[in-house]
Amino acid sequence: MDGYLGSYATLGLLLLVGALFFVAAFAANRVLRPARPAEPAGKRASYECGIDPVGGDWAQMQIRYYVYAYLYVLFAVEAVFLFPWAVVFDRPGFGLVTVVEMAIFVAVLALGILYAWRRNILRWT
């Protein structure tokens, strides 16, 4: 399909095929599923590692878990950015500029960890 509207026709055809695939999958599910699914004993009971559930179903989650997860992701991303930098650093023409860019990047992350340390966010109590 060439021309100005050719790309739109291709996109429209792709969207149509996707919608038809979606409808066909749901239709196949409707046709192939059992009419009356079995309801074995205990199917809808709560399950906690083989032990009968104790207590209510509401539990308070501490925000510190999210903070630690966020800090882990932050420093994992830093590590991901350090590997390509280490590969490019040795190539000609990348010396000082690459060092300055990475120094700025690590300094910003160091300021973040310093802020977290000063605010006692990293203290587990």
- Assign 53 a pLDDT band (cuts: 50, 70, 90): low
Residue percentage of the chain with pLDDT more than 70: 87
Q: In this structure, are residues 57 and 74 in contact, taking their beta carbons and an 8 Å threshold?
A: no
Residues 16, 6: Cα–Cα separation, whole Å: 15
Domains of the chain: residue spans and CATH: 4-119 (1.20.58.1610)
Q: At 57, phi and psi to the nearest 5? A: -100, 5
| pLDDT tens-digit readout, 26-47 | 999 999 988 877 787 767 776 6
